[in-house]
Amino acid sequence: MTINLTPSPVRLHAVAGRGQPEPSPALEQLYRGFEQELLVPLWTEIGDLMPKQPESKAVPHLWRWERLKALAAQAGEIVPVGRGGERRAIALANPALGGRPFATPTLWAAIQYLMPGEDAPEHRHTQHAFRFVVEGEGVWTVVNGDPVRMSRGDFLPQAGWNWHAHHNAATAPMAWIDGLDIPFSYYTESQFFEPGREHVDQVERSTPERSRSERLWGHPGLRPVSATGTLPATPLLAYRWVDTDHALTEQLALEAEGHAGTLGPGHAAVRFTNPTTGGDVLPTMRTEMHRVRAGGKTQVRREVGSSVFQVFDGAGTVTVGERSWEVARGDLFVVPSWQPFTAQASSAAPLDLFRFGDAPIFEALHAHRAQLGA
């Protein structure tokens, strides 16, 4: 990357309009003065900069899992994985964000693909990350030397600045999605990166059923006394599908028995949390699993900040702003800031949706807002 030190051109043109000064030679001269001094008046920009409510540059968009997987498989054949490129990850580029690999203005979402026997080299970065597995198995992600199995339905957070590598121990390729706060740290210019070893060692290539982190932290309501205090991000490296599924099933069962627990009628939802705080797993990303019972529909909701969803199971219809799609397993779509969102499950089966978003950023800064209804 090179930084262009040539000043960007500021180009102002006197226009008529509400709150605009009358075009005149004096105004034109003033605007030329502004340009020369690298100044821009508020009055020409305020509509864009200070809208009545968030008007996202990003647009709703859907990516089909089958297409993603096919391209990733193709990349698996011809693009090697190694130092420099670091990962065979292919990111969603929101069509309205200038061709950048940004699913939304703050979130990165990519499919990552690893061939049998392959290693993705070790590195660490301050960007927070997670992996979510919509299908397949066979890869272990090695975090600070702790190998963590990745299997369908598992959610695997990866807090910033921890060393990590991936290793495919199976005989088939494996694909999964990565979520990171890359665009956020890119715009705010707060990121650090450090390469590690090319390959993890033999012990780290072992394939235990449960990681050490799970053995230490994966017990409900219990924590090791040896590790008190709070951590900014979760020390638990895997949230297993069996637990997530169980929690969702129980919420719907409780609702059926007449008790509280679901987020809305027929709509169960759990949030992945940091057991040392009870808050979000990562400082910048909220991650949740939602289940809409067969034939059910979520309440329309809009929220400051953006989200990416992946269909984990079932089928149905999702509506984001003025767009609507029939969705199936693996499909990914984005909900830009303040766009109304609703999901409807098909009548045949419940619809399970994995969701990640940037809400913790806004909550930490007291800037979060949400509202039910369109």
Scan residues 41-80 and list those touching a copy of itself (CB under 8 A): 41-43, 45-59, 61, 63, 67-68, 71, 74-75, 77-80
Q: Which residue from 206, 230, 299, 347 is in contact with a copy of itself, where contact means CB under 8 A?
A: 230
Torsion sign across C-alpha atoms 153, 282, 157, 308: positive
117: closest CA among 179, 207, 239? 207
Q: Which is nearer to a copy of itself, 171 or 229 (CB)?
A: 229
Integer CA distances (angstroms), 80 to 31, 32, 72, 223, 224, in order: 52, 52, 12, 41, 41
Place of tokens 């580029």: 93
Using CB under 8 A, which of the segments 87-95, 135-143, 167-175, 340-348 binds a copy of itself? 87-95
Calpha distance 84→308 (Å, rounded) = 27
* Near a copy of itself in 259-298, by CB under 8 A: 259-263, 269-278, 281, 283-284, 288, 290
Q: Which is nearer to a copy of itself, 117 or 224 (CB)?
A: 224
Give the SS3 label for residue 313: strand
Q: Verify binding: residue 95, a copy of itself, rule CB under 8 A.
A: yes
Residue span 158-197 as binding mask against a copy of itself, x where in contact by CB under 8 A, dash where not? --x---------------------x-xxxxxxxxxxx---
Torsion sign across C-alpha atoms 58, 344, 266, 269: negative
Q: Which is nearer to a copy of itself, 172 or 223 (CB)?
A: 223
Q: Which is nearer to a copy of itself, 188 or 207 (CB)?
A: 188
CB atoms inside a 10 Å sphere around CB 259 = 10
Using CB under 8 A, which of the segments 132-140, 165-173, 213-221, 294-302 binds a copy of itself? 213-221
Calpha distance 336→247 (Å, rounded) = 28
Cβ 251 to a copy of itself, closest distance in Å? 6
Q: Verify binding: residue 152, a copy of itself, rule CB under 8 A.
A: no
Answer yes or no: are the C-beta atoms of 128 and 161 closer than 8 Å.
no
